[in-house]
Each structure stands twice: as C-alpha cells, then as structure tokens.
Structure 1
C-alpha cells in the first residue's frame, strides 16, 4: 500500500477492521513528523470513499476519486489553522472552528456513505477547542469517522486521547530506514539518518535541502564559541535566518555527542568548557528552547540566551 515499510502493519490492521465493518469512530495518528502520517491519512481517506478500492487503496478513476483529487469531495472536512480577523494565520485551532465542524458532521453524507473529518495538527487545539470536541467524540454520528493527526500527542488532553483508536508511527530500525532512504535516492543515507535522529522521512528531506551542511555549521559555531572565537550575535543571526528550530535540534545533538565522547574517553569534538553536569543541563536547555520557539517569545532572545549559556 505504501513505499514506507514501517506503515505496513498499521495499514493492514486498519483495513482488516474495515473489512469487518468495525472501524472506530475516531482515530489518532500519532508520532514524530517525517514518518508519513499525513500521506497515510490521505491514502486511507481516498480508499475509504473510493467506489471501487483494491486492498483499501483508491482506484483513482471513480467519481469519488476525481472529487478527492480536485479537493471538492462533499463528504470530507479538513480542519487546520484558520485565519485571524486581520488575515493572518492562527497558531492554534480555536473553539469556533470545532463547533462549526461538529455542526457540519451532524448532517448526512451527500454520497450516502462515509463522512470523514480530519483535524491536523490536533495537538494545536487550545483547551476550549479540545473541550468542544469531546461532545462530538462522545456522541458520534453514524458512518462518520474523525481522524486526528498529532506530532506531539502528549499535548492533547487525556480525555481526547482515550476516546480515539490510536495508531502510533514509530521510528523504524536503522537497517529498514537505510534501505528505504537508498531506495529514495539519498546519496549519503547514513549521515542524513544520523542528523535526523533515525527518522527516515526527515533524513530524506534534510538530505535534499542542505540540512547536513547546517549541522556541520552548528558544530563549528559551538566549537568556536567554546574556544572564545566568533561573535554570538553573528551566530544568532545565522541561526535565526533559516530554520532556528532545526539549528537548535542540531545543537542539542552536538551536546549529546560531546557527552558520549567524554564517557568513552575519546577526544571531545566541540571542546566545550562546560563540565558534564553543566553540559547535560545545557542539552535540556536546548530542548526547552525548541519548545519556546513555537511560542510568542522573540526568536533572537531565545537563541542568544542559549548561546550565552554555552559560553
């Protein structure tokens, strides 16, 4: 069904439930970004609504498939970030959006089959929106399936998670990931996979967009700062200009590698002046900085504080 082998078991289980007419009224697709949750969802929805599917996969030629391809299928509702009154994109899913969705799902299917609603990213719902969704989850409409997608499912209230059939997307083994990456044409698959923390989807994307060069740049920056070279503000400007969260991810990785080298008695690649306890604390600080970058705080101040702690 998919070119991602780590999804095969989840797909087979879901299709077996479909064959038994035992699909849950709510699904939660959970796991790190990069593992193909959204492609999995797209294939599942197309196959569910297809008029002549094969092993759950859409035919691509029926009326339903044509409407799906055009993005105009009347029985599919997709909920994501809406627009604010000033025209800007929201950073969370709000209660009015969920209420509108619930009203929409109270109506009958126009094709007489399934209605499908998706919420992505579900972990971006604020508290009021999540509470509003509970009623829909507790009183599902017949022949309606609600699919939530979350990169960080722990951010969802337990009351939401407990009412969904959860499908976890896990990082596959290194051998499986490397085989898939090589099949995707990734030249330096081992280096890309290491940079992505074992996540093959991220590794493929990062190998194509210069992330490996950024990873090396981060390590050079940290090593220079540890030796008293370089201007912290220059580092902040460079990290901020492209993808600050990814730069901080690579910085946290570098701190981990520094600790591992010390523990193994090897030369530490960054030559950090921090002792082991302080270095471990800095690793935690880097991860908190990644979380903070999603919020309203100024990016340059978050990065400057992190880099100042390194020096």
Structure 2
C-alpha cells in the first residue's frame, strides 16, 4: 500500500511502538478533511489484524485480510451515525451505540488477537455518548484498540482527548503536495492546491469535481455584486444548489486575496467599495456562515444576509 509523504513520520512512530509492544489502547486521529487520516486508520487496522504483516502493512491474502476486505471481520467494529426508529439517519452518535460498543469490546476476540473499534466522526458523539465512552477508555480490555477520527477535535470533551494518543495530520510542504498531485496526473495541480489552501487530498478531489470552475464563478459573482450588477437572490439560489460550503470557502479566499492586492497595489480584483477593515469583518462573517450551515438555521437566510452585506 502506497504511503503518502505526509503520513510517513506518523506511520514510523506507530510501527516502532508496535515493535516494542507499547501500542496505546486509544488513538485520536485528527486533521483537515483531505489529508488521508481515514486511509491511514484503515491501513493501520489492516496491518494490526493481519497474520503475516510486512513492516506493519497487511499481506492482503490471509484469512484476516480477506474478511476485512469483505467487511465481515468479527474483531472489527465500525461505529458511525445510526438510524432512528423512523428510518432517518441520526446527526449525532448516541449513548446506546456507545454502550453496545463497550459491551462488545468486553468480550474476547474471536481470532484471539486484537479487537479494533473505530468511531467516525468521533466529534459527533453527544454529551451522554462521550461520557459513556470514558469508562471504556479508562478501563480498556486487553488487546482492544479504539480509534477515534475527528475533523473537528475541539468538539470532543477534554476528558476524551486526554485519554487518547493523538495523531495530528498537518498540511504537507507545498513541494511535497505538488509532487504528489503531479504523480497522479491531476490537471493544473498548482491552481488546485491554491484553491484547497494547500491541502493535497482536497485539491485532488476538487480538481476532479470541477471545483476550480466554481471558484472562478464565485469571484465573478462577488465582483458583479460589488459593481451593482448582480442580484443577491439569484446568487444565493445558485450557491445553495451546488456546494454552498465550498463556495463560501472560495468567497473567503477571494476576500483575503482582495485585501492582499489592496495592500500591494491599492486596488483589488473584486473592486469592492469596502475598506480593509470592513473586508476583514466580512471575511469573518463568511467563515461563521460556513460553520452555521452545519446547524439548523436556514441556509438561504444565512446567505441572503451575508451577500446583502457585500452588495
């Protein structure tokens, strides 16, 4: 299995601990979406359960590997959003799920080795679920491994975070990220990497999904609104219909570039009438709006208010 460059150090440290028989009972993998923490976790679990691993990597052909690939390994538990009685998927991980997980981990491994449970996204546990998990973290059964994955680890209680070995994935060096994208033959890797804020996994996904066109469209929308040519309601509808959170990310980037251009040249490509201080305030408002889209508030009202301020 190919190791991306920015995983190498974490992988080496984890395998060194495995060689010393000093693996922790709980790992917390954190970092931005696109840096591959879920692929890293899958690779680690595969190697941990494999009967013939090589340098920590799975062989791919033993019974354990075949069962894992089929999704039927009896010592692997994957916990994520459940389904309510009315058939609607939950938006949080609830206490009953954690209690079932703890009861299963208290039983012996069917293969006589490790039992591994992943909780993803761990930051979606509600307060009761997080409290229920504490006992399992404090009193782990022998050869059990809990792997928590979180895009927003600050939403986890400190009591949970402090009881896990944290592995944090950071943005790689630009040269490493570009080399990785170029090896994958991605179109215009430099532009994609800039759009994704230096995140290579996000850059790859966005380049393949046409996000660079959306980025250009967002900048044209903002320039038109600043010049009094566009209609905020029409822009709101288009943004809501197609990747609104991503478009807000691009809007924040555009305003940051506007401020830089103002500082260097006295004028920016968006030609906004706002001064630099007001642009900074709108940049903060864009990021708050993007976060608010995760909640119960109506997205159209959030965007109307935001774009009305810009207009």
Q: Please, what TM-score do these two structures have when normalized by structure 1?
A: 0.98
Instruction: Quote the residue 2:221 is aligned against.
Output: 221
C-alpha displacement of 1:82: 0.7
Q: Distance in 2 between matches of 1:266 and 1:182?
A: 35
Instruction: Quote the residue 1:130 is aligned against.
Output: 130
Instruction: Quote the residue 2:179 is aligned against.
Output: 179
Q: Distance in 1 between matches of 2:228 and 2:143?
A: 64
Bigger mean CA offset, 65-74 vs 301-310: 301-310
C-alpha displacement of 1:2: 3.1
Q: Distance in 1 between matches of 2:273 and 2:234?
A: 21
Instruction: Quote the residue 2:95 is aligned against.
Output: 95
Q: Distance in 1 between matches of 2:261 and 2:32?
A: 27
C-alpha displacement of 1:152: 1.2
Instruction: Quote the residue 1:252 is aligned against.
Output: 252
Instruction: Quote the residue 1:310 is aligned against.
Output: 310
Q: Please, what TM-score do these two structures have when normalized by structure 2?
A: 0.98
- For the residue of structure 2 that corresponds to 1:264, the secondary structure is helix
Mind listing any 5+ residue stretches in structure 1 that lack a counterpart?
none
Residue pairs, 1:1-80, within 5 angstroms:
2-80=2-80
Bigger mean CA offset, 293-302 vs 7-16: 293-302
Q: Distance in 2 between matches of 1:302 and 1:100?
A: 39
Quickly say closer, same or farther: Cα 1:21–1:3, change in 2 above 3 A: closer
**In the TM superposition, what whole-angstrom CA distance separates every residue of 1:130-176 from its partner, at most 9, and x where no partner exists?**
11111111111110000000111111111111100000100001111
C-alpha displacement of 1:301: 1.1
Mind listing any 5+ residue stretches in structure 2 that lack a counterpart?
none
Residue pairs, 1:90-239, within 5 angstroms:
90-239=90-239
CA RMSD in angstroms comes to 0.9
Q: Distance in 2 between matches of 1:270 and 1:247?
A: 16
Q: Distance in 1 between matches of 2:214 and 2:238?
A: 10
How many aligned residue pairs are there? 311
Q: Distance in 2 between matches of 1:83 and 1:274?
A: 47
C-alpha displacement of 1:265: 2.1
Is the CA contact (8 Å cut-off) linking 1:2 and 1:8 kept in structure 2? Answer: no
Instruction: Quote the residue 1:83 is aligned against.
Output: 83
Is the CA contact (8 Å cut-off) linking 1:33 and 1:202 kept in structure 2? Answer: yes
Q: Distance in 1 between matches of 2:131 and 2:310?
A: 41
Displacement over 2 Å in runs of 4+: none
